[in-house]
Structure 1
């Protein structure tokens, strides 16, 4: 029979609408200004910390809604932002530097909705306020680090294979190897070509010397740059987690840039200090036979390097690096048995083995811990790459008392705050290549609220105009289309709330308005087609059936082409553009469902299979 759905189709439409309403509901409850308190060491918080926070707030007469555990953190909810800002300084001072106290907005979703996974939409930076950073990675330093490590690998391998060489050093973007005779060079080239296929080896006879050069292949060069970018993104995400920011955005932009968005964060100084710092450690042997005073005067022995400690005293170190900070898996700040600040370090398996093998043969000798930072020099002009200054400082010289393993500690730090910051940076990871913040913007929460207000007003006014027009022009069918538009809006909000990673931005609100217009446009095509069939003398039931069937191909073509555009925007866009694309894709799927399947179900229920003399269309 024409215009009748089987029962399962009606139930399917009802199920989708109910689910949409259910997961859109958390957005009605809003959010509470809150403090998110976590342990900077990553340890779980205790009940004592919760009680301490309550006592501090009550003592300073700062009203709060609740204090509770949220996963491994403590969440303190407030009635307004003024109380939230007052409480941040008070709580941070009371808990000390071992805790991270971050401003946050906590959803006020009821427990029964949380139990089924309900949560409000995640708001982007333009709606919630926060900080936006644009960072640039120094790819030249990433390549230099790779070449420096390869130089060490070449030396180790040639010694193991008993192939004699006169010298191996880095020359700009390649490695220069020199040998005593042709036979040694031939053996070395044969071995290295077999084991280092990512390098191109070329003979280089200069002044009768037997030498060769090794340069990265184009593929190796691209892999090095890609690895540096991806590894830096991972490490920056770890550092963002250390800041205690909820729902951050860290993504690549182009070949050497990273975008970081921190919703709800207003302390730009602290964020820049942690995200922009490029810190790592190197462990090297002290050349105890060298004279530091002579080295400071310019007489540095070959194979050594002159550095200074915090007191500007010269220290002569071997250039060979025993271990780098890349092998550090954990770092914790604390006090030693003499109440002096220290950082306890844990290495991965490879680093532990290397440290163990080296120290077993060097017991009684001095080993130095070198702290390395890359600080930006000036601000790059348009089109220029950032420049960095490498700052190396000896923070500790200690005698190796016994064979070390995966766990050891660094002492000689001035205060516990310095130990805490060093531990945080090392725990979050050492950046593969230095980065510089080349763009920064801060959006206040009041501006975000204003954006939400204006965007909501635009959506409401636009929707009201659509509803009135459809009701007047298409009468009862217009009311059905209006109901479909409202359901379409609910489904978009429900999907945006349900999908992990989906973020609503100001352009996303524009995408919602656009998809509502597209949903009405689909109904207009259907209703006009029904009118044409009625004018052609078709029966009412046949006109309805043909109207939906023949309009479907046109509606599908229009939506598919828009969907392709949305996919392209999502693939190549960043930030707000991605937010618009996500909303548009969800809106297209929702509008196709409500405008075709949804309205057809209602029309079938009202007019399907019945004797109807006229249609209100």
Structure 2
């Protein structure tokens, strides 16, 4: 009995959900990689509220050209100027020149994308370049955790004095020791001890109290054990990282890398920054702001900025940690001032204090840490402002009598970003020029192109038709990897990252070689080509998966313990493993089966 020969179904009928998902993933990653064909341009934005009276576009352009910063293009809008320099590497120096000679105008560097509008509307941008490719500045900061603990114990000491005074706990005296706070309690005052201890321990969690009894005196030792001190150090490091990131954002640097390095060090990479002076001034400043009551007798003496000494209540009304926002403005005489906005805790403290002390003076104390010639960290505090409280204040008020607009600007920036609770010292500083970064990019891309070219030629000559499929998968892998690195936030491409790209190409080829050799073995066993392809991919998958998992573990370890370029290499390697498996196994298999089916249909060969 004759039967009709069943032909192989066309490809479009065999398309299932997995094929469509692979196609959509490749399309998405390819679109994500497109912005890398359109490099960003760095524009200088100059805000000029008094445009007609201060500067104009012609004056600004002529001044920059005269200093050697050649302006390629200028755009004037309603309230600002935008300038594009012929040499992008001059942007940082030109910005410093503008701030020095046109201090009335705020200026910043803004990265403008040159990609098509539809890509920008999708929120897509090129890969962020690291320090060794884009040039910039590297800082390594040391955080003095011991000094932070001493300052914390001082706060406990001052709060203990206030608690004893408010509770009227006579017979209890507080003494500050080297690494603890002591409460000396007379026998007739032991009834008040529980109230004082409960208040202190509720304000400072983790504080442990141990007692020592004598004939007429009980000594209570308040200190942190090893676990609590460890937790305190972690909190200080986390707060320092958060504050430094806030300061960097205030400087307008969006591609910075700020990470912890070791126990008490922080590594900061600022790509694209060529003039480290401003960044160093802001990042390295360990500034705090406190508000104290001026007292006529007693208290602690403080130096007044500009000369003189004043006595202040050692207990602050509130500190800079309660400041939500700070902005620069001018008073009715045109002098600079800083407008402050407090949170609810700071607002309540300010309201309660000023309500009781209208007509009395209040001082603003600016404190900064520095190292002396012996390398010791010292705290320098100066009164920057003394003003009589004219009315009941709450969460909004101003600091006047600032020395200069730049001083007001720096103070507002530091207060917006937050004050550091621990002293930080810059122990390493390195500047990488943009020309070196451009040379690294050129050499890295040349190595990448050479590696890809040799690999494509080898696969095409050795495996012929299957080699063509491997080459297509290889190019898709590179595109997918670039698209994935562009899509994920926080991924930065470094020079070792380019080495990771080259390594990924080699690993992707290894995947195809393993699969194709399996296919050859299956064909030698007498299997049909389509079955050999199916079995080859299925049998090779476990080997490929095991090899990639072990490499992924290494990449994760490098990412966890590495810094800077090492971390960049680890990120590229890990993402490259994911894209290699995706394109080398799944996409390559779909292409192989599709090509074989089309050839068999065209020749009428039975599978």
Is the TM value for this pair above 0.5?
A: yes
Give the C-alpha shift of residue 474 in structure 1: 1.0
C-alpha separation in 2, matches of 1:73 and 1:251: 35
Equivalence for 1:574? 563
Instruction: Tell me which residue corresponds to 1:130.
Output: 136
Task: Indicate the residue corresponding to 1:15 in structure 2.
Answer: 24
Counterparts in 2 of 1:239 and 1:153: CA distance versus 1, 3 Å: same
Superposition pairs of residues 30-429 of structure 1, within 5 angstroms: 30-37=39-46, 54-59=57-62, 62-65=70-73, 67=75, 76-81=83-88, 84=91, 88=95, 91-92=98-99, 95-96=102-103, 99-102=106-109, 106-182=112-188, 183-184=190-191, 187-188=194-195, 191=198, 195=202, 198-205=206-213, 208-289=216-297, 301=298, 304-378=299-373, 387-429=376-418
2:474–2:505 Cα contact (<8 Å) kept = yes
Distance 1:614 1:546 in 2: 23
> How far 1:581 moved relative to its partner?
1.7
C-alpha distance in structure 2 between counterparts of 1:367 and 1:100, whole Å: 34
| Cα contact 1:179–1:185 (8 A) shared by 2 | no
Shift of 1:578: 2.0
Query: How far apart, CA to CA, are the structure 1 residues paired with 2:501 and 2:119?
Result: 24
Aligned counterpart, 2:38:
29
The residue aligned with 1:461 is 450
Taking the TM superposition and a 5 Å limit, the aligned residue runs for 1:477-496 are 477-496=466-485
CA distance in structure 2 between the partners assigned to 1:100 and 1:235 by the alignment: 23
Higher mean alpha-carbon deviation, 487-496 vs 14-23, is at 14-23
- Give the TM-score normalised by structure 1: 0.87
Higher alpha-carbon deviation: 211-220 or 90-99: 90-99
Give a deviation string over 1:197-255, Cα, whole Å, max 9, x none.
Answer: 62221223468433311112334322321221111111111211221213111122222
Q: Deviations over 1:556-586 (max 9, x none)?
A: 1111111222222222322222211221122
User: C-alpha displacement at 1:486, in angstroms?
Assistant: 1.0
CA 614–532 in structure 1, closer or farther in 2 if over 3 Å, else same:
farther
**Deviates most, 229-238 or 74-83:** 74-83
Equivalent position of 1:554 in the other structure: 543
Of 506, 529, 548, the match for 2:518: 529
2:213 & 2:20 partners in 1: Cα distance? 82
Larger displacement relative to structure 2 (416-425 or 483-492): 416-425
Asked if the contact 2:289/2:365 (under 8 Å) is kept, the reply is: yes
TM-score under structure 2 normalisation?
0.88
Structure 1, unpaired ranges of 5+:
40-44, 290-300, 381-386
In 2, the alpha carbon distance for the partners of 1:333 and 1:117 equals 32
* Count of paired positions: 587
Cα displacement (A) at 1:278 = 1.2
- Asked if the contact 1:3–1:544 (Cα under 8 Å) also holds between the matched residues in 2, the reply is no
**Shift in Å at residue 152 of structure 1?**
3.3
* Distance across 2 between alignment mates of 1:186 and 1:336: 50
Seen in structure 2, the aligned counterparts of structure 1 residues 373 and 63 have a Cα distance that, compared at 3 Å, is: closer
Q: Is the 8 A contact 2:159 2:200 kept in 1?
A: no
Deviates more, 1:124-133 or 1:403-412: 403-412
Distance in 2 (alpha carbons) for counterparts of 1:161 and 1:80: 67
Which one of the candidate residues 583, 590, 598 is aligned to 1:594? 583
Give 1:130 deviation, angstroms: 0.3
Distance 1:178 1:135, change over 3 A: same
Q: CA deviation at 1:508?
A: 0.9
Cα distance in 2 for residues equivalent to 1:310 and 1:250: 34
CA contact (8 A) 2:140 2:265 kept: yes
Q: Distance in 2 between matches of 1:231 and 1:83?
A: 34
Q: Structure 2: which 5+ residue stretches go unaligned? A: 1-7
Per-residue deviation at 1:58? 4.8
Give yes or no for contact 1:367–1:397 (8 Å, CA) kept in 2: yes
Residue 114 of structure 1: how far off its partner (Å): 1.2
In 2, are the aligned partners of 1:164 and 1:179 still within 8 Å (CA)? no
How far does residue 305 in structure 1 lie from its aligned partner after superposition?
1.7
Show CA shifts across 1:294-327 (max 9, x none): xxxxxxx5xx222222343222223222222222
Contact in 2 for aligned 1:525/1:551 (Cα 8 Å): yes
For the 8 Å contact 1:282–1:370, the answer to whether it is kept is yes
Instruction: Tell me the residue number matched to 1:543.
Output: 532
In 1, Cα distance between the equivalents of 2:156 and 2:27?
A: 61
Cα separation, 2, equivalents of 1:87 and 1:191? 58
In structure 2, what is the Cα distance between the partners aligned to 1:355 and 1:219?
35
Q: Is the 8 A contact 2:44 2:107 kept in 1?
A: no
